[in-house]
Every structure is written in structure tokens, then in C-alpha cells.
Chains A and B, each alone.
Chain A
Amino acid sequence: MRVSEIDLVSPSSVDKCLYMLRDHDKTFRLLAGGTDAIVQMKDGKRIPDIWINIKNLTELRYIREEKEGIHIGPLTTHTDIVKSELLQKKADVLVGASMEVGAIQLQNMGTVGGNIGTASPAGDTIPALFVLDAQIELSSFNEKRTIPINEFFTGPGKTVQKQNEMITNIIIQPQSENEIGIFEKLGPRKAQSISIVNVAITLRMGSNPRECLEGKIAFGSVGPTIIRSKKCEKMLALGPLDDTAIQDIAGAAWKEVMPISDVRASAKYRRSMASALLERGLYRLMNRWDAR
């Protein structure tokens, strides 16, 4: 089919959208900001029979705190996230990640739902969502189910989402007073670049100097999906996070990742960079913590 012959429909509500998705005879693709979907279409990939334009479904664009966590609508743009005072206070690691997506133009267009939907191993918000224990709500016309983020992705570009489903909510656990987080990214340049390696870190700090009670570390772009660095996480609580401890923890990271070589970087460099970014991130976090 010619691209010019693909239909585009714009449902006026989530229900109408889910109703359309029931149809098994046609292939559909949701279009949010379109910053991934259109690029892929140009490459001749994943071209549907019908585009479903959901950009106007404002009911899916929100950030609000509820009992079980902070709810983020999938149509929330990266700019929405960056500007949200709630997230700045209680999910700084996600704000940091959205700030690193492309550049301003991309952040205005691109959505968090689209970033998850693309399921790229290099997607920048995904490691942040991992360390915030995100739950992804998938809805179909008849059903709703909630999947923990660590079970959502099954490989590069692959998720457990079914053809008749869409993401309707993302629930994250807010950071408490003594929790701090950071997102570190290494790309070939500062803006508009695909991560060579990225890492999201959150730490829960104790009352003694640089005492870390527990922490979470998630690497992107160093495996088929996000990698939680369990060994390094355990080391975080072994003693105060002074410079030597930071170097030791970072030094262990390269063993936990399993990157590949491609045009952007060699596997070897990616391994070293997993350590480097963790080191840089922990340094910066501790500086922030000391200065608070």
C-alpha cells in the first residue's frame, strides 16, 4: 500500500479508540507525537493499514498524585514532565531523562507513551521508569491489566502489549524526602542523539554522612532491554559513598551489562561507559547530597 493511501482516523475518546482496535482484519498503529512512528514509516517499517491519531485525546495527558503513586498519562509530553513541579520534587530522575530526549522540539512533540511504545533499548525515559518501579496500564475494549515495567519489554521493539490494547496510564512510586535520583546519558553529541549508554539511579539516603540505605540502578542501551544492576545496587549500602566506594561500585558495573557493537560504539567502550556513567552519576549525586 502506498503511504498516501493509508487512512488516518482521529477518535474523540479513549473508548472509541479502543473500540476501533477491536477490529482484527486491519492493522492499526497509534500515532501520538509521531516522532518515532513517522521515522519508521519513512524507513518502510511497521506501516499500518490505518493510523489512529491519538494526539488529541487530552484525557490521556495528565500528571497527578494518587494513593498508589503518581499517575502519568501516556500522552504527557517530555516538556510536560520537565515542567512538572510534582515530578521535579518526587521523580527527579524522570525529569532528568525527559530533559535528555532529543532537543526542545522533540520534547514538545514526543510523549512518554510513545517512548515506551517504541520499546527501544536506548529509550531514555525507560531506565528512569524502571528505578521508579513503574506499572504500565494496558487497556483493551473489554479489559484493563497492569504490568510491572520489568515485565513489559520482551526485546528490542517488543512488548507484551497486544494488537487490541493501548497504554492508558503509567504509575510510578514517588521519591521520598531522603531519596535522590539522577539520569546520566552518553550520546555522540549533546542534543538530538541516541544514547550509546544511559543510566538511571535513585538512592535512599540515611542520616549519617553519605550513608546510603538502598538504591536502584538501571542501564539502557547495553542489552536487548533495560538491565538492573543488582550487584552494584547491593554495594551501595555497604558503607558511606565516598570517592573510593563510588569507584569500586562503578568498577563492578561493566560485568553486569551485555552490550553489542554497532555504528555508534563498540561493545567494549559501552562496557567501560556503563562504569563511567555510574561513577559520574554517583559523584554528582553525592555532591548534590552534600550541598543540600
Chain B
Amino acid sequence: MSKEVKDVQKLENQQQLKWVGKSVKRIDGPAKVTGEQKYKTDFNYPNMVWGKVLRARYPFAKIKGIDTSKAEAHPDAVCVLTHKDIPGFNGFGIVTPDQPVLCEDVVRCTGDAVALVAAESLEAAEEAINLIEVDYEPLEPVTDAEAAMIQGAPQLHPDGNIHSHVTIVNGDIDKGFEEADFIFENTFYSPRQMHAFIETEGGWGKLEEDGSLTIQCPAQYGHRDKLQIARALALNPERIHVYSSPNGGGFGGKDEITVQIYLALLAQNTDGRPVKIHLSREESVIAGIKRHPFKVTVKTGAKKDGTLIANKVRAVADTGAYASLGGAVTALAIEHASGPYKIPNVDMEGFCVYTNNGIAGAFRGFGVNQVCVGIETHIDMLAEKTGLDPIEIRKKNAYLQGDRSSLGHVVSSSVGTIETLMEAEECDLWVNRELYKSQVSEPWKKRGVAAATSFHGVGMGIGTPDYGAATIELLKDGRFKVGVAIEEIGTGNGTVYAQVAAECLRCEVDNIAVIQGDTKETLDSGTISASRSTYTGGRAIATAAPNMITLLTEAAAEILNVSKSEIELADNKLIVAGDESQSVNYKQIYEKLYEQHRSMRVEGHFYLPREKKELKNSGGAPHHLYGYMTHVVMVEVDTLTGETDVLHVVAIPDVGKVLNPQGLEGQSEGGAVMGIGYTLYEDILIEEGYHKTKNFTDYIIPTIRETPIIETIPVESNEKSGPFGAKGIAEVVMIPIIPAIMAAIHDATGARINHLPATPERIYKAIQETKKQTLVSR
């Protein structure tokens, strides 16, 4: 065990945590609730110009020529750029850079960028964009992922339409099904969910006088954006500075490059004038990344006593025109497709497929949302068939810490599944469910209560570098500046960073200044994604803190003229052990170090623990660490119309350790509402490659009236590797609620909806069909 871990554990054992575990108010709260907080896209500068992107007219077409002369002649145009103006590599993409910055010979979706304009005003930029003449030869678009896989389908990319294929096999699937008493097989379709952040993609680019480039842009990994920009511009990355925090919402939708490279290209052509791009909602719908729609076929075998014995999964993900993180999403989906259970025989495979349907990529849940519905629905059906309690079935099959999971690996990190299920069993909603179900508000309404469980990996998995780094600097006034590159995207991670730092340094939270999303001032610390930022950033700070304490101790010893071993850390000061009267505060230490021209900055680095062996062909499984979660929900269905209300949610996450109860509730409630949106309302409809859903008129997200009572009951499984025992929960909080709502609709009406979102029309139709089958009238 490393020294830092021991130090941290010592603190924990002392059980006198002052900041950790407390509902410390959001450090960015006042500015945000008063509206004073300025986001990158809120800024305007004198002397600015507006940038605009020309998107493709067709979902799939050859470009035969681009004529920009008329646009260039526009009196207010500053510059017009095409692929010819890209100094470096014309492509981007986190894993596979298959997306052109500006298309040259072919467009593959209507979100594709063909040209850029900068002009004196936004209207002028729009006019100039419309003057660009592109000569297209339209091709027949590929609009269905399964069809795209068939031989003879038009090929979108040189290597074919299958971007990736992953498999996980364990045990003997055929034997498993032979031994099964019951077999369930169903196919599930999931929606193309949109992140729907308040702040659409946008930002600023500026060429500085010294020739360096500044990009200000809401984003989820400034250090990586820097590299992607550098590759396209053939620039030294050290000449690029990205300021990427705070974000007006991210959820994965700003993990990939959004407009950064366009900003950089334009900035190099505007004579040092700052250039702004800010996508309209309509453009964001078309060009922004979405959640992968999946088609998932799941076959589950079980024994009479409720033991799950076999699970076969085939998932096809529509990644749209480009890969972005589609391969990783599909891999994570397959890793999680058998749930947090120990099913001895599994055979799972996933395909990530190119089509001309927009672009899909990272989104909170990262593939697990789409697959969890299969195993959870089948457990529910098994309970119905056998009369066993659905929670008992889950408890029976859940793996414990030290058990072998369905993937066949031994899970050595903390596992709280059973505890979450026990809380579910004991919660009022579950215990009194029959009573609540009988309290329908009108006779034609029906209520249902159901529970579901799932899990979600924390961090990147095998094969992708995964590390955190933090800096702590002593400031002149005796406060500390804590730098973690990981951006604030709305989650409140900065507050947790301040809590961890204040706890370790025994100072006040107010005396911590947190810097995030600044590639100049902070070390690369990875993405804000994969439920990793509290865990990784917190651990990096807890690793840097002892270095700061060492520095402080050395200086204190010199000032007080005692040996280092006699110095002890106290609240807001250092003292000579046993003698409080002999002390120095942090301001005095600053002055001492300043006199001696010594550095006042320390670093902490943390590599996420990982499994030794990757499962063959799995694309990165297994993860070392997972967050676990159970949801219990109650719905009310209007059987006349199919309208469905989620009335009550009990959210039970295994968080390792709660660092900030209020922050946890914020995540849990936001996740529940996003899960409700996914299950009941949200979908971007694309037909023949064109978007039918254009903006928030028809993209239906829950409002406060669709927001139920949400209770959060955390379970603490104490994860040894995490800061104070914590692990990530930001994604899992939106996952089990999806199958739980589906099961509750079934509990209420007898109808199963396997095609999400479960809109009133789909629910109504399914209810009509169950009536036909059972010949029971209303």
C-alpha cells in the first residue's frame, strides 16, 4: 500500500472528517443560480467576427466541386475556408480519426462540415455560407444498421461498414440453455437520445500576437482537444491553449471535438480578430453527437429456482457516419450486457456499424442503458413465471466482492449490489406497493411498481491510458490553489475537489481555489467521462496533498527551529507536537518559502487500478471498478390514452462513500429524470438520413411536471482505492431506472414495451394488443 493511501486511510479511521461527507455548498453555486456565471459562449469581444459552418445538403453524396467565389465576394465576409485550407491532417476522432474536418470528396451525413466562413456579423456569415456552391452527386443513403452489415450495401468507409466487432464468451452457452427450465428471448430497440445540454456547442478562437492559439470552448477534455487541433493544423500542441470549463452541460456530448478545429482554422485567417461559433439548437440537433440507437436481441436461460444459467446477447449499434467513441460504447455495452450477476454461461457480441444517420458517440451510460433492459426484463419475466420475488432473484444471482462475474473474472473491488437490493426490499415504496398501487387517481388509470438493478464501469478499462494528476500551490494569502484539468460540466466535481483538498490539508473549504479546464495551468488528468472525475481527481488531490504537507512541514521546522519530525499538522496551521503555542500558519510559510525562492507547487499523480488481463476480443473488458445501483419506481398509466407518469423513484446507488450528500442527490435526481426521458419521451427521428426532429418543439425532455418524488438512499461499500472510499456514480444513476419503468408499466397494464421511448402511442397500442390476447374488455 502506498504512503498516500495509508495517510488517507488514517484520516478516515480517525472518523473526524470535517469536510468529506458533508453537504458543502457548491463553490460555483451562487454564480450559477444568480446567472452571474458567464459561460464561454456568453462572451462577446470588440473586434470579433462570427464563424459559421456549411453543413452537407445530402446524407450521402459525392462532392464534385466547391465554388466559394460568390461567398468570398460578400462584402462582409472575412474568410471562406474549405478542405484545401487545412494545413495538417484533414480528420478527427478520439479513437479513429475518420471524420473529415472539412469534407473533400464525399459527405456521409447531413451534419458533415463542407466549408467555413468568418464574417462581420452572424447574419452576414449565414448569407455568405448560402453563397457557397457545392456540386453534389447524391448517393443512396444507408439508413439501417443491420442493412449496412449486409454484403452489397453501399460502403461508407474503405474498411467497410462494420467499424468494430467485440465478443465475450464464458462457459458453454449451449449446455447452459440445455439445463435451463425457462428460456426468454426478446429484441429491444433503443432511442437516439440527445444530450440536450442548455449550452449548445460553440466557443472562441483567437490567434495571439506571439502566434499561439487560444481556444475557449465548453469541452470535456481540453488536453486531448489540443492534440486533435494540433494534428489538423500541423501545429506544435504546446502553442495551443484550451480553456474548457465551465460547460453548460456535457453528458458526453462534448467529449469529442465539436467546433474546436473550426475555431482554430478560422482564427488563423482573421488577422488576430477573435472568432466565435455558436451552434443554433437546430444545427446542434443535426451536427451534434447522439446516443447510439441499439438493436439488442437477448436470450436468457434460467432454472426453476431462479438461478440464471445462460445469457446470449447480440447487439447492433448505429454509430452513424463516423466512429467517434462508437467502438468503445459497443465494447462497454457487451461488458455489461449480462448485468452485475454471475451467469456461468454467456455468449455476447456487439457490432458497431456505420450508417448515414448523423453521428453517435459518448453519452452518459455509454452503451449500458441500451443493453441493461434485456437481462432485467428477463429477470422480471422469470419472476412472473416462477412466482419468485424479483428482488430475491437478483440477490440470488448477484456476484459479491471476490466472486467470479458472468465475464469469468474475479471482481476484487467493492461490490454493493446486494446491499442496494436489501435497501430496495425494505423501502416504503416496495413494502407497501400493493397499497400505493390501489390508490389510483381515476378508475381508468393503473399503477405499477417495479425494481431493477444494474452497474457501470468506472474509468476507461484496459487499453486506454487512465490517469489523474493534480497540482496544489500555496498562495500568498495562505490559501491553496488546486488545479485539476478535468472540467466542470455541471456535476459539481470542483466542490468535491475543494472538500478533499481541505480535508487533507486541514484548512477551510473557502481557502481552496479550484482551477479546472485550463491546459496552461493544469496537468493532463484525463476526460470528464466514464464516471471517473470525482474518483480520479479526488484521488490525485489526495496524492498531491502529502507532498504539500511535506513542503509545509519542512518550512515550519525551519521557522520554529525544531526537527521535521516534531512538526504536526493542525487546523489551518502547523504546530510543534504537543505544544499548540508554537505554531505557524500557511501565510507565514508562504513568506518563508518566497524568501528562499522555493517552489510552492506540488504535484500528485494517480494511475487508475486496472485488471491484468484483457478478455480476448472484448475491446477493453473487464474494468477494475464498477458502481452498482438499484432503482424502485412507481408509474401510473392512463389506459385510455397510454400516457404514463412516473410518480415515485427510490434511487439506491452503491457510492463507495458519500463525499457530498447534496451533490450525490443532485446526480441521482438528474440521472433519474434523464432516465425517465430516455424511457418515455426522447428520440431524434431520422428518416432516409434526414432529421425529422429538428429542435425542442418535438424533442421531448421531461419538465418539472414529469419529475417525480425522488428519494436517494446511498449504500457505502467503501472502495479501498478511491478517495476516502468513494467511487463514481454519475452514469449508473440513469441506468436501472430504464428497465424499472418498463417493468412497472408491465406491472400496471400487462403490456411490455420493447421499443423505447415508450410513448403514449406505443403504450396504448401494446395495451390494445394484450386485450386482444386475453379477450378481457376494459
B-binding residues in A (CB < 8 A): 2-4, 103, 186, 188-194, 196, 263-266, 269, 272-273, 276-277, 279-280, 283-284
Contact B123 A4 (CB under 8 A): yes
B703 near A190 (CB under 8 angstroms)?
yes
Least distance between A280 CB and chain B CB atoms (Å): 5
Cβ B685 vs Cβ A263 within 8 A: yes
Q: Which B residues lie within 8 Å of A196 (CB)?
A: 760
**Could you jot down 29 A-B contacts, CB within 8 Å?**
A2-B123, A2-B127, A4-B121, A186-B641, A186-B643, A188-B681, A188-B698, A188-B759, A189-B703, A190-B705, A190-B706, A191-B703, A191-B704, A193-B700, A263-B693, A263-B698, A264-B698, A266-B761, A269-B761, A269-B764, A269-B765, A272-B764, A277-B641, A280-B444, A280-B638, A280-B640, A280-B641, A283-B442, A284-B442
Nearest CB of A to B123, in Å: 5
Point out the residues of chain A lying under 8 angstroms from B237, CB to CB: none
Q: How far is the CA of A186 from the CA of B642 in the complex (A)?
A: 10
Please report which residues of chain B, range 40-77, place their CB below 8 angstroms from some CB of chain A when the two chains form the complex: none
A279-B700 contact given A188-B681, A188-B760, A189-B681, CB 8 Å threshold: no
B697, CB-defined interface residue at 8 Å: yes
Q: Which residues of B contact A266 (CB under 8 A)?
A: 761
List residues of B (746-778) whose CB comes within 8 Å of A's CBs: 759-761, 764-765
Bound together, the chains give a CA A192 to CA B706 distance in angstroms of: 11
Decide yes or no whether B692 CB sits under 8 A from chain A: yes
B702 is an interface residue with CB less than 8 A from chain A: yes
B696 and chain A: residue at smallest CB distance: A192
Chain A residues in 8 Å Cβ range of B705: 103, 189-191
Q: In the complex, A190 Cα to B647 Cα: how many Å?
A: 13
Q: Does the CB pair A188–B700 fall under 8 Å? A: yes
**Residues in chain A near residue B123, CB distance under 8 A:** 2-4
Give the shortest distance, in Å, between B481 (CB) and chain A (any CB): 41
A191→B705 CA distance, assembly (Å) = 7
Tell me the complex Cα distance, A93–B765, Å.
29
Cβ contacts under 8 Å, A284 to chain B: 442
B228-272 interface with A by 8 A CB criterion: none
Whether A279 touches B681, Cβ cut-off 8 Å, given contacts A189-B703, A265-B761, is no
In the complex, which residue of chain B has the Cβ closest to the Cβ of A287?
B442
Say yes or no: B702 contacts A189, CB within 8 Å.
Answer: yes
Instruction: Find the B residue at minimum CB distance from A270.
Output: B761
| In the complex, residue of chain B having the shortest beta-carbon distance to the beta carbon of A265 | B761
**Given the complex, which residues of B lie within 8 Å of A103, measured CB to CB?**
703, 705
Chain A contacts for B692, CB-based, 8 A:
263
Contact with A along B695-723 (1 / 0, CB 8 A): 00110101111100000000000000000
Minimum CB–CB distance for B643 against chain A, Å: 7
Within 8 Å CB of A186, what residues of B? Answer: 641, 643, 760
Q: Which A residues are CB-close (under 8 A) to B697?
A: 194
Bound complex: CA A165 to CA B697 (Å)? 30
Provide the residues of chain B in CB contact with A269, threshold 8 Å: 761, 764-765
- In the bound complex, CA of A151 to CA of B673 (Å): 44
Chain B positions 359-407 with a Cβ under 8 Å from a chain A Cβ: none
Known: A189-B700, A272-B764, A283-B443. 8 other contacts (CB 8 A): A103-B705, A186-B643, A188-B698, A189-B702, A189-B703, A189-B706, A265-B761, A280-B641
Q: How far is the CA of A225 from the CA of B681 in the complex (A)?
A: 27
CB distance from A38 to the nearest CB of B (A): 13
| Chain A residues within 8 Å of B698, by CB | 188, 263-264
A6 to B681, CA, bound (A): 38
Expressed in whole angstroms, the Cα–Cα distance for A272 and B703 within the complex equals 26
Given contacts A266-B761, A269-B764, is CB(A276)–CB(B640) below 8 Å?
Answer: yes
Report A-chain residues with C-beta under 8 Å of the C-beta of B641: 186, 273, 276-277, 280
Within B668-705, the residues touching A (CB, 8 Å) are: 681, 685, 692-693, 697-698, 700, 702-705
Which residues from A are CB-within-8-Å of B765? 269
Closest to A193 in B: B700
B427 to chain A, nearest CB (A): 26
Residue numbers in B under 8 Å from A264 (CB-CB)? 698
A266 to B638, CA, bound (A): 19
Which residues on B sit within 8 Å (CB–CB) of A280?
444, 638, 640-641
Q: Which residue of A lies closest to B677 (CB)?
A: A189
Q: Which 10 A-B pairs have the closest CB atoms?
A: A276-B640, A190-B705, A269-B761, A188-B700, A191-B705, A191-B703, A2-B123, A263-B692, A276-B641, A189-B700
CB contacts (< 8 Å) of B640 on chain A: these are 276-277, 279-280
> Once the chains are docked, how many angstroms separate the CA of A284 from the CA of B441?
12
Distance between A220 CB and nearest chain B CB, rounded to angstroms: 15
Report Cα–Cα, A201/B692, bound state, in Å.
33
A279 to B641, CA, bound (A): 10
Among A103, A265, A269, A283, the most chain B Cβ lie within 10 Å of the Cβ of A269
CB distance from A242 to the nearest CB of B (A): 14
Per-position 1/0 for B613-643, Cβ under 8 A of A: 0000000000000000000000000101101
Q: How far is the CB of A175 from chain B (nearest CB, A)?
A: 24
Tell me the minimal C-beta distance from A136 to chain B in angstroms: 27
Contacts of B760 in A (CB 8 A): 186, 188, 196
**How far, in Å, is A201 (CB) from chain B's closest CB?**
15
What is the bound-complex CA distance between A266 and B123, given in angstroms? 38
Provide the residues of chain A in CB contact with B442, threshold 8 Å.
Answer: 283-284
Chain A residue contacts of B685, Cβ below 8 A: 263
Q: Which residue of B is nearest A276, CB measured?
A: B640
B643 contact set on A, CB distance < 8 A: 186
Q: How far is the CA of A273 from the CA of B759 in the complex (A)?
A: 14
Bound form: Cα–Cα A276–B768 in Å: 13
- Asked if A192 meets B444 with Cβ closer than 8 Å, knowing A2-B123, A269-B761, A272-B764, the reply is no
Q: Which residue of B lies closest to A243 (CB)?
A: B443
Q: How near does chain B come to A273, taking the closest CB pair, in angstroms?
A: 6
Q: What's the minimum C-beta distance from A285 to chain B, rounded to whole angstroms?
A: 13
Which residues of the partner chain B approach A273 to less than 8 Å between Cβ atoms? Answer: 641, 764
Q: Nearest Cβ distance between residue A274 and chain B, in whole angstroms?
A: 11
User: A2: which B residues are within 8 A, CB to CB?
Assistant: 123, 127
A35 to chain B, nearest CB (A): 12
Return B317 CB to nearest CB of chain A, in Å.
24
Q: Which residues of B lie under 8 Å from residue A4 when comparing CB positions?
A: 121, 123
Looking at B444, B638, B643, B704, the one whose CB has the most chain A CB atoms below 10 A away is B643
**With the chains together, A266 CA to B760 CA distance in Å?**
12
Name which of B698, B704, B761, B764 has the most chain A CB atoms within 10 A of its CB. Answer: B761
Q: How far is the CA of A234 from the CA of B629 in the complex (A)?
A: 56
B266 to chain A, nearest CB (A): 22
* Distance to closest chain A CB from B716 (angstroms): 36
Complex Cα spacing A272 to B442, Å: 20
Q: Which residues of B contact A276 (CB under 8 A)?
A: 640-641, 764
Complexed CA–CA distance, A193 and B699 (Å): 10
Q: B641, B643, B685, B700: which has the most chain A beta carbons within 10 Å? A: B641
Residues on A with beta carbons closer than 8 Å to the beta carbon of B444: 280, 283
Residues of B within 8 A of A192 (CB): 703
Minimum CB–CB distance for A48 against chain B, Å: 17
Bound together, the chains give a CA A191 to CA B760 distance in angstroms of: 15
Tell me, rounded to whole Å, the shortest Cβ–Cβ distance linking A67 to chain B: 40
A191–B765 Cα gap in the complex (Å)? 23
Chain A residue contacts of B706, Cβ below 8 A: 189-191
| Distance to closest chain B CB from A160 (angstroms) | 27
A121 → chain B closest CB, angstroms:
15
A192 to B703, CA, bound (A): 8
Contact with A along B94-132 (1 / 0, CB 8 A): 000000000000000000000000000101000100000
Report the separation of the CA atoms of residues A193 and B442 in the bound assembly, to the nearest whole angstrom.
Answer: 23
Select from chain B the residue with minimum beta-carbon distance to A4. B123
How many Å lie between the Cα of A186 and that of B706 in the bound state? 14
What's the least CB distance linking A44 to chain B, in Å? 10
B residues near A277, Cβ cutoff 8 Å: 640-641
Q: Which residues of B contact A193 (CB under 8 A)?
A: 700
Contacts of A265 in B (CB 8 A): 761
Bound state CA distance, A277 and B704, in angstroms?
Answer: 24
Alpha-carbon distance between A13 and B703 when the two chains are bound, in angstroms? 39
Within the complex, what minimum Cβ distance (angstroms) separates B285 from chain A? 13
